[in-house]
């Protein structure tokens, strides 16, 4: 299976902390979240991952422990994606209907996510998790 990458914003706690840009990567057997500087935030076999849908968020658990909360767009205090992260995202196969990195940056910078850009990103993330069989 080809490697699939998605642009996400992640945080550990829904109410606390800044949503940070990252790349979600899957080769079909493993799922990896990399930070803005390409450090591995977490990595797990797909069989250990469960994802729960929420209102505009996706909560990722690994072996029953919450690993992170993912969204398609960040907030006003979110850092912009680094050049390294952008290069990583653009080097792989994208997810159908996901917004471009540039669109996601614009939406985050404005701090006012448009319904279209937000829905496309969330739908794409859900579709990725559904295809992996980990979405509850």
Parse the chain into domains and list their residue ranges.
6-123
The answer to whether 39 touches 32, Cβ cutoff 8 Å, is no
Instruction: Convert the pLDDT of each residue in 73-87 to its tens digit.
Output: 788 889 998 988 887
Q: How far is it, in rounded angstroms, from Cα 9 to Cα 63?
A: 22
Which residues in the chain land under pLDDT 50?
1, 108-120
Note the pLDDT of residue 126: 83
What letter does residue 47 receive in the DSSP assignment? Answer: G
Phi, psi of 99 (to 5 degrees): -70, 155
Q: How far is it, in rounded angstroms, from Cα 123 to Cα 103?
A: 15
73: three-class secondary structure by DSSP? coil
54: three-class secondary structure by DSSP? coil
User: What is the pTM for the complete model shown?
Assistant: 0.79
């Amino acid at each position: 299976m080809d490697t699939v990458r998605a642009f996400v914003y992640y945080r550990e706690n829904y109410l606390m902390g800044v949503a940070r840009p990252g790349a979600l990567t899957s080769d079909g057997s493993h799922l990896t979240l990399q930070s803005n500087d390409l450090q591995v935030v977490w990595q797990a076999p797909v069989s250990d991952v469960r994802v729960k849908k929420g209102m505009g968020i996706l909560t990722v658990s690994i072996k029953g422990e919450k690993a992170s909360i993912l969204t398609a767009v960040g907030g006003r205090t979110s850092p912009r994606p680094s050049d390294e992260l952008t290069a990583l995202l653009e080097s792989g196969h994208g997810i159908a209907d996901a917004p471009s990195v540039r669109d996601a940056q614009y939406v985050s910078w404005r701090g006012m996510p448009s319904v279209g850009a937000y829905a496309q990103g969330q739908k794409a993330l859900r579709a990725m998790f559904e295809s992996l069989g980990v979405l509850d």
